[in-house]
Amino acid sequence: MGLAAAAILTATVAAAQNLDAGKPPAKLFADGCATCHRSPRGLAKGRFSLALSWFLKDHYATSSDSAKVLAAYLEAADEPPPGAAAKPAKKPARSALRPPKPAQSQQPPASR
Ligand code: HEC
């Protein structure tokens, strides 16, 4: 009895979640989160995905399915590069990356 009721309930909930369930996490994020969080990076902060999906369910009324999917998405997006420091290094200016080539005086100037 209880099992059947649970099965029906689960089926109903699953059907209700189908709207969200078909979307890829990137779309979920773009639709529901990007207004306030410009990028998925830096949101997971190394949390366990379970804690993360709890947070998402708690704060954002997403279904548990999309919360899980989103949590995994945030985690993947948040993965720091190996050996990276806690703070991301400042991007060096372009000129620092590419020092100007020394002038080659031997070559004649290109004709126009
Ligand atoms: C209406 C604006 C708004 C939307 C929409 C929104 N968030 Fe947030 N979110 C916030 C604010 C403000 C905070 C910081 C306050 C807090 O931690 O409760 C936050 C915090 C978070 C945190 C915790 C980050 C931390 O520093 O601890 C996560 C994870 C997160 N949001 C994920 C999401 C996801 C995923 C979505 C889409 C389902 C979403 N947010 C949609 C405003 C928003």
What does the pLDDT read at residue 36? 92
pLDDT digits (tens, 9 = 90+) for 34-85: 999 999 998 998 888 888 888 888 888 668 888 888 899 999 888 766 665 5
> Measured between alpha carbons, how far is 95 from 72 in angstroms, rounded to an integer?
37
Distance 12 CA to ligand 1 centre (A): 28
Mutate to test the pocket of ligand 1, among 36, 64, 75, 78 (most ligand atoms within 8 A of CB): 36
Task: Decide: 56 and 44 in contact? Cβ < 8 Å.
Answer: no
pLDDT digits (tens, 9 = 90+) for 2-35: 666 666 555 555 544 455 667 888 998 998 899 9
pLDDT at 88 > cutoff 80: no
Which atom from ligand 1 is nearest to the alpha carbon of 35?
5
pLDDT at 92 > cutoff 60: no
Closest by CA to 65, choosing from 94, 95, 98, 22, is 22
